[in-house]
Amino acid sequence: MPAGSFYGLLGPNGAGKTTTLSMAVGLLRPDAGGAWVLGHDVWADPVSAKRRLGALPDGVRLFDRLSGPELLAYTGLLRGMDPATVDQRATELLDVLALGDAGRTLVVDYSAGMKKKIALACALLHAPRLLVLDEPFEAVDPVSAALIRDILGRYVAGGGTVIFSSHVMEVVERLCSHVAILDQGVIKTVGTLAEVRGGRALEEVFVEVVGGRTATGDELSWL
Amino acid sequence: MAVSERAALSTPVPAYRPVPAWRFARLKLRILRNSLRGRTSRVMLFLAGALFGVYLAGMGFLLAAVSSAGDPPVRLMVASFGGAALVLGSVLLPLVWFGVDDTLDPARFALLPVGRWRLVAGLFSAALVSVPAAALLVATSGLLVPAVAHGGAGAGAVQALGVVAGLLLCVAAGRAVTSAFATMLRSRRVRDLAGILLACLAALLAPLQLAVVSAVERADWDQLATVARVVGWTPLGAPYTAGIEMAQGRPVAALAKLLIAAGTVLLLLWWWSRSLEPAMVGAASAGPTRAVRGNRAGPVAQLFPRVLPGLPVTGFGAMVAREVRYWWRDAKRRANLITIAVIGVLVPMLVTAGGSRAVLDLEGTGAPALPPFATTLTVLFVGAFAASVLANQFGFDGTAYAGHVTIGVPGRPELRARAVAHALLMVPLLVLVGVVVAVVRGEPAAAPAGWGVLLAGYGTGLAVNQVVSVLGAYPLPESSNPFATASGSGIAKSLLALLAIVTAYVVATPVLVAAALLGDAWPWLAVPVGVAYGGAAAALGGRLAGNLLDRRAPELLAAVTPRR
C-alpha cells in the first residue's frame, strides 16, 4: 500500500481481514511471505518496524485491570518514551476522546465503545507513521465515530498512513483513498476508491465481488 | 391497548420440554472431544492424565481390597480414614492444585430457560463425567471386596450404594466449595478480609495441630479405632463405612449412614445452587470498582503504586508496577496468591509440628521423631511451590499479551520484571514462613537457616517456571470463576506444576548438600548462600527463557488465546 494513503480493507465475515492485519503487525507468524512497515521487515527486524507502527487489534483484550490513564502511561513507558511526554500526551488524548471523566474506573468496566477509544489512544500515543486498525468503528457511538474519523483524517493530512478494516461501506466511501476487497483470504479487487467503484455505489460493487445472496421473502415465515 | 400489542402478547410461546440432566454430560463430552481434535499435544497430556488416574485408581482399589485380610478395626480404619481423606482431598485439591473443569460455565446458561435445580442437576451430572471422578469410583469400589468377603451379598449391595453416595459426595463437595469460594473472592469486602482471616487461621492451627499430634502420639490402637468409629459417623466417612455396619449385622446403622451421605449431598447441592446465581450474573467484571475523583496526579504517577516508591520510571518499572497491581486486581491471580499463602504457611507448620514434638520436649521425653532434614525438604518445597504460580503467567494475561507483542517488548526484561514483581510479594511471605517454622520447631535461632533454603528453593523455582511459562503456556477460560480451567487442561496444569517443582528440587540439590555438609556453620552461611544460589539460578533461567521468548512471542500469544 502506498505511503500517505488512507486504505480501507473490506471483506465479509471470515474473509481473513483480522488474520491479514495480525500478520502485518507481528501478532501471527505467516506460513509464507512477509510484511514490511515503511521499508522495515516486521519479521526480520521487528524492533524498528514496530517502533513506526501503531496497532489496534480486534478481539484481543487490553491490560484491562488498569484504569485508562494507567494503561496509557504503561503503554508509553513500554515504548521507551520520556515520562513527561507520556503524561502530557496521555492527558491530551484522554481529554480529546472524552475518557477523562472515567477517572480511575478500570478498563474492564468500560463500555465496548470506550474500550475501542482507549485502545486507539494506546495506538496513537507514540505518534507512529503507520496505523493499522482492525474494526476501529465497531461498537462506537456516532459522536465518537465522527471524532475518530476527524482524528484519522487530520493524521493522514499530516503525512501519516492508515489501513483499517471495516464492513461499514459509508465510512469507507467517505474516508478512504484506496480500497481492497478481501474474500476467502484472497484480494478480489484493489485500487483507488474511484477505480474500484467505477461510478457505482461501493456496496453494489462489494456484493457483486463477494457474491452475496439476498432474501427472497419466503424464508423465515415463522418469525 | 393497541391491536398489534395485544397480538404480540397473545402469541403462544413454543412448547417447552425440560432438558434431561444427562444432556449436560453429553455436551461436556462433545466439547472435550472438539477441544482435543487435531491437537496432538493436548491429546498426549489428556492420555497422560488418564493413565495417572488409572494408576491411582488401581492403587486405591488394591489398598481397599487388601484390607479385607485385616481385623475388623483395621477394616474400619481403612474405610473411615481413607474415605475421609478422599472427601477432604476433593474439597481442597481443586482449590490448590487442579482448579475446576469449567467446560460448562454456568454463565453460559444464564439466557436459557433452565431452572435453577435443573441446572444444578445438569452441571452435577457433567461434573461426574471426568477422569478424577472415574478414578475415585474405581478406587473406592475396592471396599466391595471386604464387604462381600465378610458380610455376603447384602453387605456388598449396601457398600455399593455407599461407594456411589461417596462419589456423589466428593464431587458435590468439591463443586460447592470452589463455587462458594469463588463468589467470596469476588467481593471486595472479603478480599480485604482474606489477609486477616489467613493470619487468624494460621495462628489457630498451630496449637490445634500440636494438641492433635500429642494426642496421637499418646494414643494406642484402640483409641485410634475409636476415632475411626467417630469419623465413620460424620459425612466424611459415613458412605464408606456403611457396608461394614451391614457386615457386622447392624442394618439400621448402615441405613442411617447412607441417609447421612445422601442428606449431605443434597445439602451441598443446595449450597452450590445458591452460589451459582451470582456466578451466572456477574460474568465478566470482578465487581464494580470505585471511580475515585479528584486524583490530579498525572497518568504516570497513577500507574506506580505508592507502596513501591523506588521503582524506576521506565518500561521495566512500568511492567513491575503493572504486575504488582495485577496480582491483586485480577481475581484469578489473587486466588492463586492467597492459596499459595495458605499452603506456604500451613504445610511446613503441619510437618514440623508433627516432627518436632515441641509439646513432648516440654515433658522431657524423646528426640525429634522426624529428622531436621525432613523439615528442610518441606521448607524447600514451600519455596519452589511459591514460584509455581508463574508456570502459566502468560495464561493469566491471555490475549492482553498481544499488547506486548505489538510493542515488541524484549524477552529478558519482560521476564525479569514479572519475576521481580512476584518476588516483591513473595519474599516477605517466605521470610515469615521461615520465622513461623523456626518458632514451631522451638528453635527461633534456626530461622536464618530456613530462610536460606526457602530463598534457594524460590530462586530455582523461578528459574524453572520462567522457562515453563514460555514453553508450556495454556489458555485460561475467560470466566468469572478464578479456579476455572478449560476442559482437559486441569491435567496439564497439575503435570506442569509437578514437573516444575520436581525440577526445582533437583536444581536446588547443591544447597541441600551444602546444608548437610556445613553443619554448624550453615545457619551463618544460609542466607548469603541461599540468596546467591537462588538469585543466580533465577537470573540464568530468566536469560534462557528470555531468549526463547524473543523467538516464540507470536506462538506464545497463540497458545494463550482461548478458543472461541
B89-98: pLDDT as tens digits: 888 777 666 6
- A59 interfaces chain B, CB cutoff of 8 Å: yes
- pLDDT exceeds 50 at position A29: yes
Interface probe with B: pick from A42, A58, A70, most Cβ of B within 10 Å: A70
B-proximal residues of A, 143-162, CB under 8 Å? none
pLDDT, averaged across chain B: 81
Count the neighbouring beta carbons within 10 Å of the beta carbon of residue B443: 16
The pLDDT confidence band at residue A74, using thresholds 50, 70 and 90, is: very high
- pLDDT exceeds 50 at position B438: yes
CA of B207 vs chain A CAs: smallest distance (Å): 40
Provide DSSP, A165-202. Answer: EE--HHHHHHH-SEEEEEETTEEEEEEEHHHHHTTS-H
Provide DSSP, B417-428. Answer: HHHHHHHHHHHH
Contact yes or no for A74 and B329 at CB 8 A: no
- pLDDT exceeds 90 at position B405: yes
The pLDDT confidence band at residue B427, using thresholds 50, 70 and 90, is: very high
As a whole number of angstroms, the distance between CA A74 and CA A118 comes to 12
Task: Write the CB contacts of B53 (distance below 8 Å, at least 6 apart in sequence).
Answer: B131, B132, B134, B135
> So what's the ipTM on this one?
0.91
Residue pair A64/A139 in contact by the 8 Å Cβ criterion: no
Residue A6: the pLDDT is 93
Residue B59: the pLDDT is 92
Q: What percent of chain B has pLDDT over 90?
A: 28
Residue pair A54/A72 in contact by the 8 Å Cβ criterion: no
Contact yes or no for B302 and A64 at CB 8 A: no
Interface A:B, Cβ pairs < 8 A? 127
Residue B182 one-letter amino acid: A
CA of A121 vs chain B CAs: smallest distance (Å): 13
Residue B474: the pLDDT is 83
B235 SS3 class:
coil
As a whole number of angstroms, the distance between CA B471 and CA B465 comes to 10
The pLDDT confidence band at residue B361, using thresholds 50, 70 and 90, is: very low
- B323 interfaces chain A, CB cutoff of 8 Å: no
Write the residue in B300, B404, B558 that is nearest to A83 by C-beta: B300
Contact yes or no for A50 and B408 at CB 8 A: yes
- Taken as a whole, chain A contains a residue count of 223
Residue B218: the pLDDT is 63
- A74 interfaces chain B, CB cutoff of 8 Å: yes
Q: Residues B130, B119, B97, B548: is their CA dihedral positive or negative? A: positive
A-proximal residues of B, 356-415, CB under 8 Å? 397-400, 402-409
* CA-closest candidate to residue B121, choices B104, B146, B143: B104
Residue B190: the pLDDT is 59
B525 SS3 class:
helix
pLDDT tens-digit series, residues A83-128: 999 999 999 999 999 888 887 888 988 888 899 999 999 999 999 9
Q: Where are the alpha helices (DSSP H) in chain A?
A: 17-25, 46-51, 68-78, 83-96, 112-124, 142-157, 169-175, 193-197, 202-210
| Closest residue, chain B, to A111 (C-alpha) | B285
Burial of residue A39, with CB atoms counted within 10 A of its CB: 0-12 exposed, 13-18 middle, 19 or more buried: exposed
Contact yes or no for B299 and A105 at CB 8 A: no
Beta strands A6-10 and A178-183, pairing class: parallel
Contact yes or no for B302 and A73 at CB 8 A: yes
* CA-closest candidate to residue B166, choices B252, B257, B248: B257
Residue pair A5/A178 in contact by the 8 Å Cβ criterion: yes
- pLDDT exceeds 80 at position B360: no
| Closest residue, chain B, to A59 (C-alpha) | B399
Cα dihedral A12, A18, A23, A25 in deg (nearest 10): 130
Residue B212: the pLDDT is 63
Interface probe with B: pick from A50, A60, A91, A124, most Cβ of B within 10 Å: A60
Q: DSSP state, B115?
A: -
Residue B33: the pLDDT is 85
Between B184 and B253, the higher pLDDT residue: B253
- Mean pLDDT value of segment B69-85: 86
- B315 interfaces chain A, CB cutoff of 8 Å: yes
As a whole number of angstroms, the distance between CA B209 and CA B333 comes to 29
Residue B131: the pLDDT is 86
As a whole number of angstroms, the distance between CA B126 and CA B103 comes to 9
The pLDDT confidence band at residue B284, using thresholds 50, 70 and 90, is: very low
Residue B136: the pLDDT is 92
Residue A81: the pLDDT is 93
Q: Cell for A177? A: 483513498
- B283 interfaces chain A, CB cutoff of 8 Å: no
Write the residue in B292, B397, B555 that is nearest to A104 by C-beta: B292
Write the residue in A29, A66, A90 that is nearest to B554 by C-beta: A29
Q: CA angle, A190 as apex, A188 and A191 as ends, to 5°? A: 160
CA of B333 vs chain A CAs: smallest distance (Å): 12
| Closest residue, chain A, to B332 (C-alpha) | A65
Contacts of A51 in chain B (CB under 8 A): 408
Contacts of B329 in chain A (CB under 8 A): 65, 106
Distances (CA, A) of B92 to A204, B54, B96, B178, B490: 62, 21, 6, 9, 14
Cα dihedral B27, B31, B37, B43 in deg (nearest 10): -110
Cα B376–chain centre separation: 23
The pLDDT confidence band at residue A73, using thresholds 50, 70 and 90, is: very high
As a whole number of angstroms, the distance between CA B444 and CA B440 comes to 8
As a whole number of angstroms, the distance between CA A139 and CA B41 comes to 37
- B330 interfaces chain A, CB cutoff of 8 Å: yes
As a whole number of angstroms, the distance between CA B55 and CA B129 comes to 18
Contacts of A73 in chain B (CB under 8 A): 298-300, 302-303, 318
- Mean pLDDT value of segment A61-70: 90
As a whole number of angstroms, the distance between CA B310 and CA B312 comes to 6
Q: CA angle, B415 as apex, B414 and B418 as ends, to 5°? A: 90
* CA-closest candidate to residue B383, choices B489, B262, B504, B477: B504
The pLDDT confidence band at residue B282, using thresholds 50, 70 and 90, is: low
- pLDDT exceeds 70 at position B479: no
B-proximal residues of A, 80-109, CB under 8 Å? 80, 83, 86-87, 90-91, 94, 102-106, 108-109
Burial of residue B393, with CB atoms counted within 10 A of its CB: 0-12 exposed, 13-18 middle, 19 or more buried: buried
Write the residue in A50, A69, A77 that is nearest to B318 by C-beta: A77
- B289 interfaces chain A, CB cutoff of 8 Å: yes
Q: Which residues pair with A165 in a beta bridge?
A: A9, A134
- Window from A37-41, B200-204, B542-546 with minimum mean pLDDT: B200-204
What are φ and ψ of residue A132, in 5° steps?
-115, 110
Residue B286: the pLDDT is 44
A-proximal residues of B, 77-136, CB under 8 Å? none
* CA-closest candidate to residue B245, choices B146, B138, B136, B142: B146
Burial of residue A216, with CB atoms counted within 10 A of its CB: 0-12 exposed, 13-18 middle, 19 or more buried: exposed
Q: What percent of chain A has pLDDT over 70?
A: 97
Give the position of cell 487530520.
A154
Residue B283: the pLDDT is 44
Give the position of cell 489458555.
B475
- Mean pLDDT value of segment B123-147: 91
Q: Residues A49, A55, A59, A63: is their CA dihedral positive or negative? A: positive
What are φ and ψ of residue A182, in 5° steps?
-110, 135
Residue B384: the pLDDT is 87
Residue pair A63/B322 in contact by the 8 Å Cβ criterion: yes
Count the neighbouring beta carbons within 10 Å of the beta carbon of residue B1: 6
Contacts of A34 in chain B (CB under 8 A): none
Residue B357: the pLDDT is 45
Contacts of A65 in chain B (CB under 8 A): 286, 325-326, 329-330
Residue pair A125/A76 in contact by the 8 Å Cβ criterion: yes
Task: Write the CB contacts of B234 (distance below 8 Å, at least 6 apart in sequence).
Answer: B84
Cα dihedral B130, B133, B137, B139 in deg (nearest 10): 110
Q: Cell for B474? A: 495454556
Residue pair B419/B466 in contact by the 8 Å Cβ criterion: yes
pLDDT tens-digit series, residues B178-187: 887 777 766 6
Distances (CA, A) of A109 to A73, A104, A122, A139, B348: 19, 10, 17, 15, 40
Count the neighbouring beta carbons within 10 Å of the beta carbon of residue B513: 10
Between A180 and B373, the higher pLDDT residue: A180
CA of B329 vs chain A CAs: smallest distance (Å): 6
Structural element, H or E, at residue B60:
helix B40-66
- Window from A55-69, A125-139, B111-125 with minimum mean pLDDT: B111-125
Task: Write the CB contacts of B245 (distance below 8 Å, at least 6 apart in sequence).
Answer: B158, B251, B253, B254, B257
> How far is it between the farthest Cα atoms of chain B?
95
Contact yes or no for A78 and B409 at CB 8 A: yes
Residue pair B49/B491 in contact by the 8 Å Cβ criterion: yes
Contacts of A83 in chain B (CB under 8 A): 300, 313
Beta strands A130-134 and A161-166, pairing class: parallel
Q: What domains are defined for chain A?
A: 1-52+128-212 (3.40.50.300), 61-127 (no CATH)
Interface probe with A: pick from B302, B337, B480, B560, most Cβ of A within 10 Å: B302
* CA-closest candidate to residue B54, choices B133, B135, B127: B135
The pLDDT confidence band at residue B494, using thresholds 50, 70 and 90, is: confident
Contacts of B314 in chain A (CB under 8 A): 77, 80
* CA-closest candidate to residue B151, choices B79, B103, B85, B221: B79
- Mean pLDDT value of segment B322-347: 80
| Closest residue, chain A, to B303 (C-alpha) | A70
Give the position of cell 484402640.
B222
Contact yes or no for A27 and B402 at CB 8 A: yes
The pLDDT confidence band at residue B340, using thresholds 50, 70 and 90, is: confident
- Mean pLDDT value of segment B269-282: 79
Cα-trace Rg, chain A: 19
CA of B408 vs chain A CAs: smallest distance (Å): 6
Contact yes or no for A104 and B286 at CB 8 A: no
- Mean pLDDT value of segment B366-371: 48
